[in-house]
Amino acid sequence: MLRPATAAVSPPASLQVLHWWTSASERKAANLLVAYAAADNVTWMDSAIPGGAGLAAVKVLRSLVLANDAPEVTQIIGASIGEWAELGMLLELDAPAQAGNWNAVLFPAIYKLVQHRQHVVAVPIGIHRINTLFYNRALFARLKLKPPKSWSEFEQIALKFNAEGIAALALSSEPWQVATLFENLLLASGGQQLHRELFVRMNAQALSDPRLTEALERLRLMKSWTKQPIAERNWTEVVQELANGEAAMLVMGDWAKGELNVTGLPTDGVFSCSAMPGTEKFNLYSVDTLTMFTKDYAHSPAQEKLARLLLTPAVQTGYNNVKGSVSVRRDADPARMDSCARASWTAFGLGASAQVPSLVHRMSVDEVARDAVIAEINHFFADDSVTPAQARQRLGAVFRALHLRRSDH
């Protein structure tokens, strides 16, 4: 039987997208992508899994894949990109990358990040700066203070706020939030080099460096800067503490900025940002990326279309302005960024000497190593009787076990 011309099979243009953007600003940023995709005839079927820093989304993804029900598009970031690509599950996106000239328009570190065995396997959408210090301008003005530039200024300012009965720092005991703060402290004390030895190479010998002990002691001290007793709360509630003036400062990553902006607080109004003291020249970064699962390739035209779309200047500017991150493109226009974004984008643009991949936000080591390190930091933070020496010892055991596992492969 002749097939009527109208029944020509057109590839499905509807894509299931799994991600963990569920806060108000994350939602708004994702909705913008949904709208852009729709305008390009791609239906983005949203599957958002709540949980800051992707705690639950990463687990849901694994179970979907085991059930042979992988979404067509997934937020997989950093070191995990290579792991999934190695299993042969990710669609190679060389065609859209070539068409969009990604090797020229992306920052070199970003272009490297999205490749596996010389193939592009992920779409970068934004760069988050983790070493951002947010501060409440009204509270700072009331006490006639300027944002701290060094640890000693940081400490003096904290004492002043605490003396006024104002929490100097907004923080909850959620493990990834604590570990994010610690990663900032480690970078401030030890610089890029010690961060690399410990949080990229997991070199057990570097654990005896006194600057690690200093960072651990500072983490413990900062616990007293927070609202007492410290409790486990979602990151969006912690951001609200800064917005309401219940806390003076916050260090968590610049998605906090997206959240402040979406509640009607523009940058340099109620709040402003500066770099975490002692880390000005660095960008401790995390890059959000989407990957595409191959399955039977039926969706690849739509997947490739979406990949290409996400890198266009209009999408990059619009999305990152809402999300709190910055464009992955080197030709982005800094004049269209607020002061926090401009500082982040400029620092990232300085290249390798400024770029520090975040362990907590999945850029430097795999998921198992990341989780193990976060657990040890959290153990130290939660239990005041654990000494820095004990924490170093436990981290040493973790590092050694992880290295054994690596050499097994």
**Binding footprint of ligand GAL on the chain (CB under 6 A):** 20-21, 26, 52-54, 128, 235, 255, 286, 288, 361
Q: CB of residue 178 vs ligand GAL: minimum separation in angstroms?
A: 14
| Least gap, CB of 208 to ligand GAL (angstroms) | 31
| Cβ proximity of 309 and 36 under 8 Å | yes
Write the single-letter amino acid at 238.
V
Closest contact distance (angstroms) between CB of 236 and ligand GAL is 9
> Which residue, 21 or 225, is less far from ligand GAL as judged by CB?
21
Nearest to 143 by CA among 133, 152, 153: 153
**With contact defined as beta carbons under 8 Å apart, do 377 and 177 qualify?**
no
For the CB of residue 250, give the shortest distance to ligand GAL in the complex, in Å. 13
276 vs 302 by CB, closer to ligand GAL: 276
Shortest Å, Cβ 324 to ligand GAL: 8
**312 secondary structure, DSSP code:** S
In the bound complex, what is the minimum distance in angstroms from residue 366's beta carbon to ligand GAL? 15
Angle between helices 24-39 and 300-310 (to 10 degrees): 120
| Nearer Cβ to ligand GAL (110/212) | 110
Contact status, residue 55 vs residue 28, Cβ threshold 8 Å? no
Amino acid at site 387: T
Give the residue with the Cβ less far from ligand GAL, 26 or 183: 26
Residue type at position 169: L
Instruction: Return d(Cα 197, Cα 29) in angstroms, integer.
Output: 35
| Complex with ligand GAL: residue 140 or 255, whichever CB lies closer | 255
Q: How many angstroms separate the CA atoms of 163 and 178, rounded?
A: 23
Among residues 17 and 194, whose Cβ is nearest to ligand GAL? 17
Pairing of strands 271-275, 132-136: antiparallel
CB of 57 to ligand GAL, least distance (A): 9
d(CA 158, CA 352): 33
Classify residue 349 by burial, with Cβ atoms within 10 Å: 0-12, 13-18, 19+.
middle
Task: Rank residues 53 and 347 by Cβ distance to ligand GAL and give the closer one.
Answer: 53
